[in-house]
Amino acid sequence: MSVMQKASYAVRQLTPLIASELRADAQSLLSGEIAPVIRDLLETRGVVVFPEAHLTDEQQVAFTKTVGTYAPEQGVFKVTLDTNENPNADYLRSGFFWHLDGTMDSKPLRASILSARRLSPIGGGTEWANTYAAYEALSDEDKALLVGLKARHALEALHSSIYPEPSYAQLTEWRQHAARTIPLVWTHQSGRKSLVIGNSAHYIEGMDRCESRLLLARLRDHTTQPQFVYRHDWKLGDMVMWDNCGTIHRALWYPADSGRLMHRTKLEGEESFA
């Protein structure tokens, strides 16, 4: 006779405004029984850390499927600056700057999951900032100022962070890709509001470019204040899942030849920017 074991787990907050840690064994994570708890943590805490979970690729995919709609990729995506591992690794350098994933998509990813497979001997942490908490903490004047404002998000802005002097050919190529206009304040289906900022934001529509740049910088400075930020210093086997709709993130510098390797899985987007 088989004995059904109840999934066991322990949760604790890592900072007051962002990130919780969830400790559970692989069997409990894969059972799907904790999935409602994880979805709730994603929504309320933005980032969920699974310390030294040591899941295999297959287990990471299976786990991802318990939490939402798995966004299939060709195998597990390798986040690394090593071009032998990922031929497009060069473009990943834009991940050193604050962003959320998929601002040019109609529905941005609901969540991403990274697991640490090889570490850099120096640097290579990851930071997230809670864009719900940052919006909430804005002054009433700033909340009023942002009503109706929309930013244009484009590859040109994203890649300018790594190519500050783009060639004519680069600019022309980047401009062939879809750009998207998104409200600076996202009113979610839940009724909660978050800021949509990051390095893909090119300019604010209808605003003078200089003024626009200043406002985007001011909002980023505000959002990335220490009280809204969680920094993760990776241990081998750690897995971190984050709400891509309520946080922005960035990788902290590490050498391109450090061997740092993360395996990523994703949850399909569930709602459009609004």
Which residues contact Fe ion by CB under 5 A?
Answer: 95, 101
101 vs 156, which CB is nearer to Fe ion? 101
Closest separation between CB of residue 95 and Fe ion, Å? 5
Name the one residue in this structure whose structure tokens are 């050919």: 169
46 vs 95, which CB is nearer to Fe ion? 95
Burial of 163 (0-12, 13-18, 19+ CB in 10 A): middle
Within 7-97, where are the H helices?
26-31, 35-45, 57-67
Closest separation between CB of residue 196 and Fe ion, Å? 14
Contact 43, 20 (CB under 8 A): no
Residue 167: both structure tokens together: 């060639």
101 vs 238, which CB is nearer to Fe ion? 101
The helix/strand/coil state of 56 is: coil
145 vs 178, which CB is nearer to Fe ion? 178
99 vs 222, which CB is nearer to Fe ion? 99
The order of strands in the sheet holding 126-130 is 229-232, 126-130, 247-251
Closest separation between CB of residue 133 and Fe ion, Å? 19
Closest separation between CB of residue 168 and Fe ion, Å? 28
Contact 250, 97 (CB under 8 A): yes
Closest residue to bound Fe ion by CB: 101
199 vs 212, which CB is nearer to Fe ion? 199
68 vs 108, which CB is nearer to Fe ion? 108
CA atoms of 16 and 104, how far apart (whole Å): 31
Closest separation between CB of residue 112 and Fe ion, Å? 7
Strand ranges inside the chain, DSSP E: 9-13, 20-24, 47-50, 77-79, 111-118, 126-130, 150-153, 180-183, 185-187, 193-195, 201-204, 229-232, 239-243, 247-251, 261-267
Closest separation between CB of residue 225 and Fe ion, Å? 20
DSSP 121: S
Closest separation between CB of residue 161 and Fe ion, Å? 12
